[in-house]
Chain A
């Protein structure tokens, strides 16, 4: 039904109206709208001679249905808008645009525009509000609308401090100062935070408003955005500006419009309608640079791992008496303000016989105007596997306090745990008791300890080898050797000489002795005879053969004679004679004949040896 109505409602009076400023200045941008009051197609724009097209066509369609006294009127508006810029001064005419409605071509009236040189402000103020702005609907002006000055509306970036340490949280507040009613704020350009860790402060979406006097002018202010940034490196770090689009309402002196519409007259009343215009404005915050100081190196504790702020630290275990294979929970808590989200939790050291699971980390950190507050927790589940008394050493946590400018180290109390032998697990029932054997656990490795021997110090590059002393020792050894050689040889030579002398004199001595013996024989002195005889024989053989007196015996005589190469018969004869002599000496029997016999025997033995030696 509606379609039917539509069919007949507007066909007869389709028009195409042009609306634009009549007077513009050179360089000014303005809009030209072609408004058709019917649906159609094939809109063709005229050539905009003397102007350049900046944007367009933008097509917008609106329709409204009115029912008055049962009769329905439907109005359609179809607008094509161009944004033009005046290029040069003079009078220009925008030619007819055409539009096809129901097969009929509708053309617009030619529209003449005067382009004046110079001041765009003058032109704009003379012109007043644009005709394009329509009652009741909010359409916006271009951003270069001259009527919003930087004094009335601006965006400021306020850091909570200009200089901070690495890791120290800084709150950045983007504050809007305005003397105009402002609406529809939207961020057009997100700021960038190179070199920072950033977290936005979420005040439940509320924008805090207040008023503030700047340079004697009262502004209402709104905190548009608030972030916590934590510098990650030292140096001069710059926060890039943020851009915000907003719509400001500007009061204008509106020229009364002549209209027959009673409502129009009412709304155009200067009292009611002071003429507010919505102007879109892009605001850019200033660029702020922060002076970020590096953390001091002096006095940095070993346990420091990047925590900056002011913290409390505690460690606790839920039970200190337990049995093997029972679990205990060891909790490390860090609370306070600072770069909580970025800090590393201190790691406790558990006895090696404890089974430790990866900690459960939990944190409740709140970013607010003071930075970041909250608590961070690490819960370790530990299970002792062996009975005994154990101690968990104090956990150390250190942080840098930027307010004091120094490092602070906190310790938890060391904890004593007594672990009783639990039931179950690896208990054995009866028989051989055996534990699960383990290899030695190496808890750490280090270099070998220093040597404490200081006695081996000596001047650089002095070696015993190839030193004077070395050669002296070697030479001395050689000398010793040679000396020994000479001495031994000499002694041997001397010994040989002695033997020779004795050999030579042996016969002579023996002769003397025999002569004496013969004397005793004649005298019948038995004792002396045997003694002399014995000495003659022993002395002779000992001298002759070079046998030492100390080793003289029958056997040694026999051996020596054999060694000299004398035959066995001879040696037997001599030994036999010696035997007889010795026997007769200690067992004297019938005298004369025996003595005579022995004398001859001895003489013979000596003679034979003498002869034998000569033969050899």
Chain B
């Protein structure tokens, strides 16, 4: 009976949507890839968009779209899609490389606030797996915790009980970490709290009105963090810590 339950669950994970529907999406994506290889980047973008409009996403889909935009020299869109891809697959080296290259075409060079070694290390650990990667790690860790606990509780042999105890503590730490990272990545992926400037030149204002003081200028491709929003304006923060208001129509959130 347990085996049946497990199989059922695996089926739920992998078969979230019916197989017959996905077939055409795969086809569209493959058509887009073919168009890209043939150098018809506009067609490739159109095909990828078709998949996206159907409500699907994946890191390779966003990555390929970004590539097509890059080849058409539309750098803001390229950056936007690379960032989207990176959210789904934070550790992917190809995506990171291409994003770096695309960012070289951006006018604004914003000085990053310095990050401590621990923060960087923590970040690289976090981006080791995407959300679901960490989710599976947490599942395995949980299983191991239970196993250790079982050994600790049920073993008559002293050595096995000791091993179970320490392994249990270790796996509990792993479980907590994986849950933490999964939650963080999950939130990053779901919350559109970052954006790319899409207008070639845009004034960042001191308050959400056109008549307010111009604080600084951003150019297309610049990455901003969204702090607050009303109907037409977003309060944004750039990497060097400067804060201002920008019209929603000038940026694309991801």
Contacts and interface: CB of A to CB of B under 8 A. Distances in A.
Given A463-B132, A465-B131, A477-B146, A452 B154 contact: no
Interface stretch (A478-486, A535-543, A574-582): A478-486
A459 B17 contact: yes
A563 to B, nearest CB: 13
Interface in B1-29: 2, 5-6, 9, 12-13, 16-17, 22, 25-26, 29
Given A454-B30, A468-B12, 9 more contacts: A447-B70, A451-B64, A457-B26, A460-B55, A464-B131, A465-B182, A465-B185, A473-B9, A474-B142
Nearest to A448: B94
Contact of A457 (B2, B51, B146, B186): B51
27 contacts: A447-B67, A448-B67, A448-B98, A450-B63, A450-B64, A451-B63, A451-B94, A452-B33, A452-B60, A454-B29, A454-B30, A454-B61, A457-B25, A457-B56, A457-B57, A457-B58, A458-B56, A459-B55, A461-B190, A463-B186, A464-B132, A465-B132, A465-B134, A465-B186, A470-B135, A477-B143, A481-B150
Nearest to B147: A481
Contacts of B2: 476, 480
Contacts of A447: 67, 70-71, 97-98, 101-102
A456 interface: yes
Contacts of B68: 450
B143 A469 contact: no
Contacts of A468: 12
A64 interface: no
A466 interface: yes
A477 B146 CA distance: 8
A149 interface: no
A134 B144 CA distance: 126
Contact of A454 (B26, B138, B190): B26
B73 to A, nearest CB: 12
Interface of A: 445, 447-470, 472-474, 476-478, 480-481, 484-485, 488-489
A452 B97 CA distance: 17
Contacts of B135: 463-466, 470
A464 B61 contact: no
B139 A473 contact: yes
A456 B58 contact: yes
A485 B151 CA distance: 10
A565 B69 CA distance: 83
Q: Describe A's contact surface by its main secondary structure.
A: loop
B160 interface: no
B228 to A, nearest CB: 22
B189 interface: yes
Contacts of A456: 58-60
Contact of A450 (B36, B101, B134): B36
Given A456-B59, A461-B190, A477 B139 contact: yes
A454 B51 CA distance: 11
A477 B142 contact: yes
Nearest to B17: A459
A463 B33 contact: no
Interface in B64-105: 64, 67-68, 70-71, 94, 97-98, 101-102
B216 interface: no
Given A463-B131, A474-B139, A485 B67 contact: no
A489 B56 CA distance: 49
Interface residues of B, number: 55
A615 B29 CA distance: 83
A458 B16 contact: yes
A469 B12 CA distance: 6
Contacts of B182: 465-466
Given A447-B101, A464-B13, A469-B13, A476 B60 contact: no
Interface string B123-151: 00000000110111011001100100110
A448 B185 CA distance: 25
Contacts of B189: 461, 463
Contacts of B170: none
A447 B99 CA distance: 9
Contacts of A467: 13
A342 B15 CA distance: 65
B5 A464 contact: no
A466 B178 CA distance: 13
A603 to B, nearest CB: 35
A490 to B, nearest CB: 12
A457 B29 CA distance: 9
B64 A470 contact: no
A463 B58 CA distance: 11
Contacts of B173: none
B28 to A, nearest CB: 9
A554 B131 CA distance: 61
The 8 closest A-B pairs by CB, nearest first: A465-B135, A451-B60, A481-B146, A450-B64, A454-B29, A464-B132, A456-B58, A469-B12
B98 to A, nearest CB: 4
A488 B5 contact: no
B9 A466 contact: no
B229 interface: no
A460 B33 CA distance: 20
B5 A476 contact: yes
B153 interface: yes
B58 A450 contact: no
A606 to B, nearest CB: 29
A463 B189 CA distance: 9
Nearest to A472: B9
A548 to B, nearest CB: 16
A478 B2 CA distance: 12
B92 to A, nearest CB: 9
Contact of B16 (A452, A459, A476, A478): A459
Given A451-B94, A464-B136, A469-B9, A457 B22 contact: yes
A562 B55 CA distance: 73
B27 to A, nearest CB: 9
A488 B102 CA distance: 60
A466 B136 CA distance: 11
A89 B247 CA distance: 76
Nearest to B132: A464
Nearest to A463: B131
Given A466-B186, A473-B9, A481-B146, A454 B17 contact: no
Contacts of B94: 448, 451
Contacts of A465: 131-132, 134-135, 138, 182-183, 185-186
Which of B25, B56, B68, B134 is the most central at the interface, judged by chain A CB atoms within 10 Å of its CB? Answer: B56
A447 B55 CA distance: 27
A463 B136 CA distance: 11
Nearest to B156: A492
A478 to B, nearest CB: 7
Contacts of B150: 481, 484-485
A460 B186 CA distance: 13
B56 A459 contact: yes
A177 to B, nearest CB: 53
Contacts of B63: 450-451
Nearest to A470: B135
Contacts of B183: 465
B101 A445 contact: yes
Contacts of A454: 25-26, 29-30, 33, 58, 60-61
Given A448-B98, A469-B12, A488 B57 contact: no
A491 to B, nearest CB: 11
Contacts of A481: 146, 149-150
Contacts of A470: 135, 139
- Most B CB contacts (10 A, CB to CB) among A450, A460, A470, A489 go to A450
Interface string B213-246: 0000000000000000000000000000000000
